[in-house]
Structure formats: C-alpha cells, structure tokens
C-alpha cells in the first residue's frame, strides 16, 4: 500500500477485462507519494513521500499507463545527496553530517524553506495543469508526458505564503483558492481569484498567474493560533471559509526547527474552540458581519454547496476528533494484524454532514428559534446573540453507512453540479485504515450503492459524464484499485455511475502505491 516504486515514463499497455466504454477519451491523472527513502534515511509520515504522477490514457476502449516522479527541488536535492535534505510535513531533515559541529548547530536556527514536493493534487490555472500541495510552491506539468516544468511561487504573484490543493472553478474558467498571510496586522486567511485564460495564454508555454488577486482577507479569530484548513466551500454566489479547531501554534512553528520537531507536531486539536463559518460574497469580496458558529469539528473535504430559498446548504465530510491528522505516520499505517486493527479502531470516523446558513439575518431576525425552513431538513440555525448564528448539522447518512466505516474523498459531477443543487456523490468507504469500498450516496434518500471486495483497496472515485448525458449520474466512475496481496496487479476500475455495476477494468503490470487525488483530463 505504502511502498517505494519505480517510475514508468514510457506508456505501457494494460490488460482489459470486461469493457471500457469507447466514448471515454482522455487521461485519468493521479498524484500521491511514491518514494519513501533516500539512502539510509526514511520518511516518518505518509504525506512526506516524493510526489509521483500517474496517467491512465483511455481511448477507443483501450488503456495505457505511465508514471513519473515529480522532479521537484526536494526530489533532485535528496537524490543528489542520497539522503533526506529537505524537511517535509512529518519528517525533519537532519543537518549535513559532513559539516563541522558549529555549522551543524547553527543550521538548526535557519527557518527551513517550504518544500515543493507537490504530492496532493492536479489543479488548473488559466488552462494549464499544475501539481500542488499546501505550501507556496506549485509545479507546472505537462499532462501528457508528465514532464516537470517550472516551479511557481505564489508569493511572487500575490501576498500569500501558501495555497490549498483544492481550488474551485467557476463556469467562466476562473479559479478560486485560499492562502495565508501574516504580518504586524495579524494572521489572515485570504480568498484568491485567478482569472480565466485569455487569448495570449494559449500561445505561452510558461506559468501564468497574472491577474491573480486577493478577493477577501479574513482575520484569524486567534492571531497566534490560526486554524489549519485543507479546502473551502463555494456556491454560485458565496465562498465559505471554515475556521476549525485544528490549530497551528505560531510560536511553536518558529521554534520547531530549533527543537528538532517536524511540522505536524505544531498542529493541535483544541476542541475548546468552536467552529466558525466565514461567509463571503464571491462577486464583491465582502465578508458577512454575521458569525456562523457550530460545535467543534474538523473537515478536510467538502462535498458540495448550493443556495436554496435564502439558505446556503453546505455538505462536507466531518469528524469530531481532529487528532487524526498527525496519526498517518508510516509506523502506524505499516502495522499488521491486531496492531493495525487497534490503530484503525482508535481513529475517528468521518461522516457526511449538512450545515445550513440562513443568508438574510438582520436586527429583526428573532432570537432563539430555528430559522431553517427548508423542506425535510433536520439541520438547524438559531440566532443566539445579535450578529451570531449557532448551527447544528443534519447527518447526511443513515446507519447503513456505519458498516462501511464512514467515508472520505467525496466527488460529484463537478461540471454540472458544482455550486448547484445536486443529488449524488461518490466516495471511498473506510472499513480499514485505507479505503476498502467505493460508495455512491443519494443525498435525497441517504441510500447507498456499494462496490467492495476483500483485499481490494480503491482510491478516490472520479466521475466522467457521458457525451450525451441527460441525468446527473449518466456516466462512469473511475478509481485505481490497489491490490497489496498480489504484486503488479493494480487496476483501473470503470463503474457505471448510475447502477454502480462494474463495466471493465484495465490491469497494470507494475506496482502502484496508494495515492491521494486525481482528475480526468478530456484533452487526453
């Protein structure tokens, strides 16, 4: 599941079982960690492995596979020295043993440069593909050859020092994201907008983030303890930033290099803080003066959000214990038998929830009564003080989901439904430390369709609409299935999105490690 593998830069054929629909024409691109050691040094956290890009090229019912390591500065420098020289999320690079004792001592006092090991996702800005993580660096890549292109520093374009790996896209082709900034005025969460591609973009073979601007800067509730975030919410007219009680201790952050601690040690789960939802008008950049509050929870991935009769409905995967983020050490996830079961049973289950924000709150809004009037909606929102709304969520599932262990990695028919009312989402079920099922959830009925086989571990499902689709779930779901019991038998699975029946699979004759996120690129 978590192993170092060789890259496959020249596309190889796969063995097709069943049928791959001939209308699928493009590339399924995936990202994730693929190398966990250099020389005698080994990473301690799963997130730290060197980024490996994968491409399944689908055309006329056949599939080829290729993969490449991202030639990040981190990868190149580690390879040259044959040891870990760049610190990652959970692994601290140790000082060079060849330096004398004074140089080694002082090297601890240098603030480490952020990594450009962009192992989380493929993202698009102005029509170009980049691979992204959660630092200020991205790498532009060629989506066909998987060749690494230039390194892009967000802070050269805009006053932020990081960006998420989960941007949103509007129907005009603009890209929205979130980034931090901090200075004398405090710590801010910034909403960024990168404009759509223009006529000159097509002729340039270079990174282009010109025109990027900060739409809104949201001040952190606790200036010395800003919240960690992995993604954000976007509907047709609003962006919602969720300030959750996973806190980054900035003083610890400054000291962590000196103390010899890795980055994930500066993040703490602090449930004494409530969850704050910051509502921002996507067109004007204006932040609502109303504070929307909820009980402490953590969320990594949002499912979808839409407006309905004066309410903003937000669906997301949530947990009640944010300690989990530092737990995915290689030591934990490489345990076996009872030890692995014990680790799995200690983890929090992530489940789908719905929160509803009333959009028309003013002085006249009555206190202490539920304002949510949507049909069949169990979520509540109550004005508890002037300018404050307290919300409780609705569980977006019934007990059936619990036997599949909760869910994560949600995906929708994004092109059709992002920011709009929708009915279906697809996700991974977590009956194991690694996902062991694929789920299709109907948010109207809370009923599930399931694909699950013992010993097979699916990755994030990605929906691809059929060319003449009339309904929301008319298309296929693609997922890469890892088979740890058998070497070199990983396969690309193609499910009918409507029925969740298997249509076909493309078996790859090389070992592929468990990855993070992916996209379908229609251009091929």
Question: Residue ranges for the binding site for Fe cation?
Answer: 166, 230, 301, 517
Q: How far is CA 377 from CA 370, 374, 394, 437, 448, in A?
A: 11, 6, 7, 28, 19
Tell whether the torsion through CA atoms of 9, 13, 19 and 20 is positive or negative.
positive
Helix (H, G, I), strand (E, B) or coil at 77: helix
Segment 137-142 long-range contacts (CB within 8 Å, at least 24 positions apart): 138/163, 139/70, 139/72, 140/206, 140/207, 141/53, 141/70
CA 200 to CA 465: how far, in whole Å? 30
CA 514 to CA 509: how far, in whole Å? 16
CA 239 to CA 125: how far, in whole Å? 18
Q: Which residues fall within 8 angstroms of residue 219, CB to CB, at 6 or more apart?
A: 186, 187, 188
Residue 370 tokens read as 């539920």
> Which residue stretches of 384-454 are H helix?
414-417
Helix (H, G, I), strand (E, B) or coil at 341: helix
Contact 52, 35 (CB under 8 A): yes
Tell whether the torsion through CA atoms of 495, 28, 333 and 327 is positive or negative.
negative
Contact 370, 377 (CB under 8 A): no
**């080829």: which residue's tokens?**
64
Q: Which residues fall within 8 angstroms of residue 246, CB to CB, at 6 or more apart?
A: 227, 228, 267, 268, 269, 270, 298, 322, 325
Return the exposure string of 12-32: e unless at least 16 CB atoms fall within 10 Å of the residue's CB, then b.
Answer: eebebeeebbeebebbbbbbb
**Helix H or strand E encompassing 337:** helix 337-346
CA 262 to CA 329: how far, in whole Å? 12
Give me Rg for the CA atoms of the chain: 23
Residue 167 tokens read as 């941007």
Residue 391 DSSP code: E
Contact 490, 465 (CB under 8 A): no
């Amino acid at each position: 599941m978590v192993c170092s593998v060789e890259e496959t830069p020249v596309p190889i054929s796969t063995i097709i079982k069943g049928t791959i629909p001939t209308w699928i024409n493009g590339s399924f691109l995936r990202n994730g960690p693929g190398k966990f050691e250099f020389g005698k040094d080994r990473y301690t956290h799963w997130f730290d492995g060197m980024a490996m890009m994968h491409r399944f090229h689908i055309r006329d019912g056949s599939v080829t596979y290729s993969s490449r390591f991202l030639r990040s500065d981190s990868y190149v420098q580690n390879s040259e020295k044959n040891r870990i020289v760049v610190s990652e999320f959970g692994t601290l690079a140790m000082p060079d043993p060849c330096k004398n004792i004074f140089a080694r001592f002082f090297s601890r006092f240098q603030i480490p440069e952020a990594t450009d090991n962009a192992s989380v996702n493929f993202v698009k800005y102005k029509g170009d593909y980049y691979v992204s993580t959660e630092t200020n660096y991205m790498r532009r890549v060629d989506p066909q050859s998987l060749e690494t292109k230039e390194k892009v520093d967000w802070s050269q374009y805009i006053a932020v020092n990081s960006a998420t790996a989960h941007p949103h896209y509007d129907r005009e082709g603009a890209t929205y994201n979130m980034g931090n900034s901090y200075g004398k005025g405090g710590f801010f969460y910034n909403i960024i907008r990168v404009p759509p591609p223009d006529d000159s973009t097509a002729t340039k073979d270079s990174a282009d983030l010109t025109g990027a601007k900060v739409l809104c800067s949201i001040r952190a509730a606790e200036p010395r303890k800003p919240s960690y975030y992995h993604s954000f919410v976007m509907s047709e007219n609003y962006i919602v930033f969720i300030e959750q009680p996973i806190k980054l201790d900035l003083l610890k952050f400054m000291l962590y290099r000196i103390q010899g601690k890795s980055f994930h040690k500066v993040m703490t789960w602090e449930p004494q803080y409530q969850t704050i939802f910051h509502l921002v008008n996507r067109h004007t950049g204006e932040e609502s003066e109303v504070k929307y509050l909820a009980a402490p929870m953590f969320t990594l991935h949002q499912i979808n959000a839409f407006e309905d009769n004066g309410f903003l409905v937000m669906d997301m995967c949530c947990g009640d214990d944010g300690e989990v983020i530092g737990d995915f050490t290689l030591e934990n996830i490489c345990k076996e038998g009872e030890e692995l079961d014990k680790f799995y049973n200690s983890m929090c289950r992530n489940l789908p929830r719905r929160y509803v924000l009333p959009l028309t709150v003013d002085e006249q809004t009555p206190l202490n009564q539920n304002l949510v009037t949507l049909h069949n909606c169990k979520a509540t929102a109550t004005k508890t003080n002037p300018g404050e709304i307290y919300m409780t969520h609705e569980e977006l599932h019934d007990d059936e989901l619990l036997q599949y262990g909760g869910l994560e990695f949600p995906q929708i028919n994004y092109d059709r439904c992002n920011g709009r009312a929708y009915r279906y989402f697809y996700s991974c079920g977590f009956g194991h430390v690694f996902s062991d099922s694929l789920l299709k959830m109907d948010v109207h009925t809370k009923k599930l369709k399931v694909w699950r086989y013992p010993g097979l571990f699916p990755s994030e499902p990605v929906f691809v609409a059929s060319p003449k689709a009339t309904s929301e779930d008319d298309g296929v779901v693609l997922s890469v299935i890892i088979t740890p019991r058998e070497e070199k038998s990983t396969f690309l699975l193609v499910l009918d999105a409507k029925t969740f029946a298997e249509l076909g699979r493309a078996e790859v004759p090389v070992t592929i490690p468990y990855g993070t996120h992916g996209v379908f690129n229609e251009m091929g």
